[in-house]
Structure formats: C-alpha cells, structure tokens
Amino acid sequence: MNNGLLYLCQMNVKNRFKKLIRKPLKLIATIVGVLYFIMIPFFFKSSIDQLNMNNQHSFGLIILLFTIYLSTPGYLSYLKRKGIVFTNADVHFLFSAPVSSKQIIFYGLSKTYYLQVIYEIALIVAALFLFNVSALPLLLYVLSIFIFEIPMSYSLALIMYADEKISLTAKKVIRYTAYAFLLIFTALSAYYIYANGISVQSVIEVFQLPLILLFPIIGWQACLIQLLFWGPTNVNIVGTVLFFIFGLISIVYAYRMKVNGEYYEEAQDFALDYEKKMAKAKKNAPLSEQMGKRKILKANREITSLKSRAILDKELLENRRTRRTFVKISDLVLAIIGGFVGYFLKDSLAEFGTEETFIFFGVIVGIIMYINAFFTHSNFWQKEAEHFTFFLIPDTMISKLFFASSLDLLSALTRTFALVLPLMVISRVPLVYGMMGILLALSLLVFEIYLRMGLSEFLTQKVGTIFAQFIYMFLSIILCAVPVGLWGLMTWFTAMPTLVGVLLTVLSYFGLAYFGLWIASKTILHTQLEDN
C-alpha cells in the first residue's frame, strides 16, 4: 500500500485512540460493547448444553451457516459497487490524490478489518469455552483465516468491485446464481428438518451433499471448514484443494489486474447515500426511510382534529402516504420466534398448572426484556418533537407527547400480537392466560417507549450517546425485573392467585410508563427549545 495511505491509516487509529482516552466514559462504553459482543454466545450456553451442541461438530456447523448466510451477501454487494465504505472526505481527498485506484479500494476495505478481528476473537472464545473444540483444528482455522482467506476475500472484493472486464450481464448471472444456491440450500435444510425432525444432524446431512460442497467458491470454502472440524472425506478434500487453487488464482489476478478508476462516480454516490443514512440512523428514523425506499402514495384523509389530536391525524396521514399497513418485517420475525418458542414449550405446557403459568409468562417477559434492552425501535414521537410547531400547540406537554407517540403504541400492539398469538396457539395455552400474556407483553413494550422517551435525551446530554445506551440498557433490565420479582415473591409467600399477580404486574408497568411520560414532559421541553 502507498506510504501516504499507510500514514493515513496509522493516523486514523491514533486519533481514534486519543479521542477515547480524552473521553473515559466513551472508552468504557467501547470496551463494554466489545466484551458484550464477545460474550453473546455465553447467553445461549444452557440451550447449547440442552441440545447437545457443545461439541466440535456443532461449532463447525455454526461456522458453515455464518459463512453461507453472512459472507455470501457481502461478496455479492461488491458486484453492485457497494459494501466498501467511502466517506465524503475520502471522495474529496483520496480520489483526486496521486494514489493508485486499486490501493484506494484496499484502504476502504481495511476500515472494517477490526470488525473481522473482533468476530474471530468471539468465535475463538466460544470454541474453547462452549464447544470444547480441540486446539489443533482451531489453530489451523485461525491461521487459514488470517493468512489465506482474508487476502483472498480482499482480492475477490477488488475483482468484483473494480474489474472493468466483467460485464453487467455477467454480474447479474453471478448474483442470481448465488441467490439460487442460497434458496436451494435453505429449501434442502427445511426438507431435511421436516423429514427427520428439528436436530443438528438434519442440517449436517445437508452439508454432506456433494451438490452443496462442490458448488464453486461457497461450497469449496465449506469443504475447508468441514475438513478442519468434521474430519476428512473424499469430497471435502477435493473441495478444499479447489478452494486453495481458486484463492491463489484470485490473489494473483487481483495483483496483476489494472484499475482505471471507473468506480469513482458510483463510489461517490454511495458515499453521499451513506452519510445521509448515518444521519437518519442517529435520529432513529424508520428503516425504510434510512434505506431510501420511501414511496409516496395517495391518501384521502384530512386533518380535522384540534389541539394534540391533530398530531395523531398528521401521523396517520403521513403513515398512510408511505406505507399501507402497520405490520413490518420485524413483526413477522417476532411471529416466527413466537411460533418456534411455542413449539418447544408445547410439551412443557401440556398441563397448565402453577409452574406452567410461570413458564409461559416468564418466557414472554424474557423475550420482551431482551428486545427492549438490546434492540432500538423507531421513535415516531421524536420526529414530531423536532419541529417548533409542536411546542406552539395549545395543550399540555403530556398530552402532546402521548398523541405524538400514538404510532409507537400501535406498533407495540402489532408486535405484541405477532409474538404472543403464535406462542399461545401452538403451545395451546388457555384463552384467559393467553389474553393476560398479551396484556403483559403490551405493558412491557409501552413501558419501554416512555422510559426511553424520558431517559434517552437526558442521559445522552450527560454522558454521550454510546454510554447513554448502555446505562439505559441496564436501567431497562432492572426496572423490568423489579415488578416481576415482586410478583414472584408475593405469589410465593402470600398464595396470591397467579392471574391477580400478573394483573398487578401489568398495572405496575403501565404506572412506570406514565412516570416515564411525565419525566419526558419535563425534560424534552427544555432540551428541544434550546436546540430550536
């Protein structure tokens, strides 16, 4: 790489480190974030042990699934000249500098190298402490990643991103072929699971099919992983040899190929889009808006309400113009999760007694707490509160914030039904308990909306965005756990009926939600008026 680019990389790392040192809270938040990512596999330790997946074969299977479903889309994004992050500063200064176009691409790829390192560290820790992987295959796997696969992946990225000899038709053929492979693999996995039952062995059998293993590049890479963690077979030895041959050819070809910089214009457009998406993401804009996929539709609706209700009419009108329904892809994912959980709990909840009641409600609370703590949601109310006209409406701040959050409440309602209904139907929970489960999930989601509304702005101003997210995460877990813990203690010591305890818990969450709304009404007025 050019000495100037090496110096730029060194200074980027040095300046980022200096910024972290000058802001101790941000440094702590970064360390906690990295440790949290590395410790994620340990959250599933009990499930891994129960499913007898604490072995080398299961670890190899997980690596194979990650390779197919995560690496493949990443490679395909290069064909569309996406996936390499160029900022506006790169466009303005590097593209016009006397630097090789090829080296600029390697510089862009190097920006995400640290993510690869953190990812591999997490896998190594999981392999040693959860899956009991032997040292030799793990060492060979790490060496193959850093010595061979990363240089090969960078070479492939360069070829797919900047090779001017690959026509648009050829790129489409490559993309559609890869997508067809993913569909075939998914269909075969579903068939084997349906035929043999839900088990690790069912998916392993799919990976042993020559049709999968001898598929170019993806299958060959799977052969190498199989050879290391499952042992040698004729097919995976042949596939591994083909993978190494292809990798060496890719590295040599990438080294010799000429790049004239035809990608500059598309890279510049991508940089502008990337900056816009990052700005919208900071404001918690809906995902469709971040991705630039908003389509304006016709909507015959007028704003006729007065005072704070006009905010609700405005939000419904805007929602009607940008989407036809409140149901989102994340709701469908929740429905699938609810269905799987209901299937696994079907036998445990066959006789619905006191213990089964705690299992059912505990599962709902656990899933919602995890969603609330570790996943961000679109804050429709925040978009309204950014306009100065919001503060000119002649109504109380609590009322304005409540109607501004109406779409958030409707979204919480759809998420509640998406999660609880499949769980309730598949596990055959009695109707009364199912309805109480819906109320419990809804109260938790409403509590999260108003707790985030009341605390996020205040914490961000005090300690910064990143550290505020971690503080909020722990506060959310603690405040969610307190009513549930009190319910358990009261049921244990006072023989309180289970449904009465759940109802009191629901009321506690709604009470905490109102308290969060009250805090928001006191803090947002001051902070937003300062910004405007």
| Domain residue ranges in the chain | 53-274, 308-531
pLDDT at 241: 93
Q: How confident is the model at residue 94 (pLDDT cuts 50, 70, 90)?
A: confident
Contact assessment for residue 169 and residue 79, using Cβ atoms and an 8 Å cutoff: no
pLDDT at 238: 92
> In the chain, what percentage of residues exceed pLDDT 90?
5
Q: What DSSP designation does 41 have?
A: G
The closest of 79, 279, 52 to 169, measured between CA atoms, is 79
Contacts 24+ apart (CB under 8 A), 164-170: 164/259, 164/260, 164/262
Is the confidence at residue 281, as pLDDT, over 50?
yes
Ranges 102-111, 181-190, 330-339, 354-363: which has the least confidence: 354-363
pLDDT at 140: 92
Q: Which residues contact 360 (CB under 8 A, 6 or more apart)?
A: 345, 349, 352, 427, 429, 433, 437
Q: What is the mean pLDDT of residues 331-356?
A: 76
The closest of 512, 528, 384, 496 to 450, measured between CA atoms, is 512
pLDDT at 237: 92
Is the confidence at residue 284, as pLDDT, over 60?
no
pLDDT at 242: 93
Would you give the distance in Å from CA 179 to the centre of its chain? 21
Contact assessment for residue 363 and residue 357, using Cβ atoms and an 8 Å cutoff: no
CB atoms within 10 A of CB 185: 24
Q: Cα–Cα distance between 292 and 288 in angstroms, integer? A: 6
Q: What is the mean pLDDT of residues 503-517?
A: 82
Is the confidence at residue 296, as pLDDT, over 50?
no
Is the confidence at residue 46, as pLDDT, over 70?
yes
Contact assessment for residue 498 and residue 357, using Cβ atoms and an 8 Å cutoff: yes
At residue 83, the 3 state secondary structure works out as coil
Q: What DSSP designation does 70 have?
A: I
Q: How confident is the model at residue 459 (pLDDT cuts 50, 70, 90)?
A: low
Backbone angles phi, psi at 242, to 5 degrees: -60, -35
| Residue scoring higher pLDDT (29 or 253) | 253
Q: Cα–Cα distance between 161 and 155 in angstroms, integer? A: 10
Q: What is the mean pLDDT of residues 484-504?
A: 72
The closest of 377, 412, 403 to 284, measured between CA atoms, is 377
Q: What is the pTM of this model?
A: 0.63
> In the chain, what percentage of residues exceed pLDDT 70?
77
Contact assessment for residue 501 and residue 511, using Cβ atoms and an 8 Å cutoff: no
pLDDT at 418: 87
Q: How confident is the model at residue 287 (pLDDT cuts 50, 70, 90)?
A: very low
